Structure 1
């Protein structure tokens, strides 16, 4: 999310949920909470969802690819 958004930057706070899907192989959906980097420590978190595609097993890439990451609405 941070790479595509130049206005607000977030820091990971807590994992909420992670699931995997066997087809296509290596697909993961991750829900997590994050806080704005410039926010006070007692500020509320924002919930994000990420779609991650791990192609290391299929085409020997160095790291998983984050297909998308957005604020959960």
Structure 2
């Protein structure tokens, strides 16, 4: 849960508190040697990103070789009909 909270904190730092309700997807890259139980991380992120102060966000986790764990992107709904 602490990793999921940190991902949410980093997301807020990047987009700003006023844009959290517009977060659609948070991309993570998780290495198979990162020491993270991916299913648990995904579950925690699903709960946090779909609850206030977020709203309808979801995690997108990509598994990699190695020990990396990083936030790779944050997708924001900018209200454009082109999305």
Name the TM-score class by shorter chain.
0.3 to 0.5
How does the TM-score come out when normalised to structure 2?
0.31
Q: Choose between structure 1 and 2 for higher RCO, CA contacts under 8 A separated by at least 6 residues.
A: 2
Of Structure 1 and Structure 2, the greater helix share is in 2
How does the TM-score come out when normalised to structure 1?
0.34
Of Structure 1 and Structure 2, the greater strand share is in 1
